[in-house]
Amino acid sequence: MTPFKLSEEFLAEIEQLIADQKDTEILALLEEVHYADVAEVINELTKDEATYLIKLLDTVKTSDVLTELDEDIREAILASLSAKEIAEEISELDTDDAADIVAELPKEMVQEVISEIEDKGHAKDIVDLLRYNENSAGGLMAKELVKVNENWNVLTCVKEMRAQAENVRRVHSIYVVDDEGKLKGRLSLKDLLTTSTKTHISEVYIPKVDSVNVNEDPEEVARIMSKYDLEAIPVVDEIGRLVGRITIDDIVDVIKEEAEKDYQMAAGITQDVEGDDSIWKLTRARLPWLIIGMMGGIGAASIINSFQAVMIQYKILLIFVPLIQATAGNVGVQSSAIMVQGLANDTVKGEVVKRLLKEFMLGLINGLVLASIVLLISHFAFNTEYLVSATICIALMSVIIIAALIGTFIPVFLDSRGIDPAVATGPFITTGNDIFGILIYFTIAKIILGF
């Protein structure tokens, strides 16, 4: 099977067929195409072309396509569908995807769309899911799962399972609950197949089952599922009742989105943006940190300006300002990146003081290496006096050590205050380093050169 690759020709063909309203041909062309690929095509169409296609294709396919679209495009398409049409799409989806789409609708639409859903059980499940915080296990989970009562025998189980499995896309484990709905354990599909039908459930089910609480952080759920190589995990409420299930494909999305968000945060981009977004959206996401960084530059300018002696007498020190700053910035970012990852992978384990001491040593070693190189270059290439060379080197070493310590400490501090430590890597650290780097540099100069 050659994987689908969206080509210019294919896109042009689709656009032409839509313009000519050649419905039969469009349906034939897209019949074998996976919904994720159809979504990729639609992401490149205009809003009208996209809406045309969604209305044309079968709801079974379009419902999945809608979940895969970029948020902006989905919003635009849904805005041009009636409440009944939206309800039809949602009826085809699993409850987690259905709830996600309903949550995106304007408030006045929600009531209407839900009332138009024919399967009342499905509507009830969606309403239940909407109560949970979006950023929690409850917000990620789906209601579709297969569960059996611990008091049944295997024959009943298999019959029940066959009935329930109709609605469940992937069955990994069959969950075992008691009369109150509390999660007791699990059965694997493989076990069921390889066990005689006369056996009683209580003899075969595995009482040990990993689960997460409905309020758990999605990143923590991802960490658990990844650590134990799970493909699905049951979600329980505060009383221990089985209320939903999270599958690995949703967790893969969580992991990828988290990674992208962290990467963008480290580059000083405040919102989740893509290169395709409007110039306005991109500017809004990028400007804040640019302004903050610029304020750091203004701060540095004031500091330099206040050291008039440097401006007049030791101008040579000024040419090394970029060097001091770049090094402080790079060291700070390296230290904070390592700490941020350590916190994310939970490998720090309260050894913060140990880490700080290590960073001090690292700063010392790296500082010595770099300062030696600078000493040689400043002396031979720039012909600086010994005292000036000494000033630059000592300042460089101090700045490196302090940048390493700050870079290690800040993420820990943010994390302890419940702020995502990943915001510490990037402009946050480099701006602070710009200011204190200059301050340390000139203060040391003042002390050594005596002005």
Residues numbered 210 to 269 that lie near a second copy (CB under 8 A) are 210-211, 224-229, 231, 248-249, 251-253, 255-256, 259-260, 262-264, 266-269
Q: Which of residues 60-119 bind a second copy (CB under 8 A)?
A: none
Quickly tell me which residue has 């490998």 as its tokens.
Answer: 347
Q: Which of 90, 123, 431, 445 binds a second copy (CB under 8 A)?
A: 431
Q: Which of residues 12-41 bind a second copy (CB under 8 A)?
A: 32, 34, 36
Judged by CB under 8 A, the stretch of 82-90, 124-132, 136-144, 331-339 that binds a second copy is: 331-339
Tokens of 88: 């039809």
The count of chain residues that interact with a second copy, using the rule CB under 8 A, is 112
Residue among 81 and 262 whose Cβ is closer to a second copy:
262
Q: Which of 51, 63, 95, 336 binds a second copy (CB under 8 A)?
A: 336
Residue among 117 and 337 whose Cβ is closer to a second copy:
337
How far is it, in rounded angstroms, from Cα 421 to Cα 67? 30
Chain centroid to CA 38 = 24
Q: Which of residues 292-321 bind a second copy (CB under 8 A)?
A: 293-294, 296-298, 300-302, 304-305, 311, 315, 318-321
User: What's the closest the beta carbon of residue 109 comes to a second copy, in angstroms?
Assistant: 27
Report which of 151, 372, 401, 136 is spatially closest to residue 254, judged by C-alpha positions: 136
- Identify any residues that bridge with 177 across adjacent strands, giving them in sequence order: 149, 183
Q: Which of 53, 339, 393, 444 binds a second copy (CB under 8 A)?
A: 339
What x/- string results for residues 346 through 385 when contact with a second copy is judged by CB under 8 A? -xxx-----x--x--xx--xx--xx--xx--x---xx---
How far is it, in rounded angstroms, from Cα 74 to Cα 47? 9
User: What's the closest the beta carbon of residue 207 comes to a second copy, in angstroms?
Assistant: 9
> Do 129 and 141 contact (CB within 8 A), yes or no?
yes
172 SS3 class: coil
Phi, psi of 344 (to 5 degrees): -65, -40
Judged by CB under 8 A, the stretch of 45-53, 84-92, 117-125, 429-437 that binds a second copy is: 429-437
Tokens of 417: 């205050």
Phi, psi of 64 (to 5 degrees): -65, -40
Number of neighbouring beta carbons within 10 Å of residue 291: 10
How far is it, in rounded angstroms, from Cα 61 to Cα 213? 33
Q: Which of residues 173-192 bind a second copy (CB under 8 A)?
A: 189-190
Q: Which of 330, 390, 443, 446 binds a second copy (CB under 8 A)?
A: 330
| Dihedral Cα 156, 159, 161, 163, nearest 10 deg | -140
Residue among 77 and 339 whose Cβ is closer to a second copy:
339
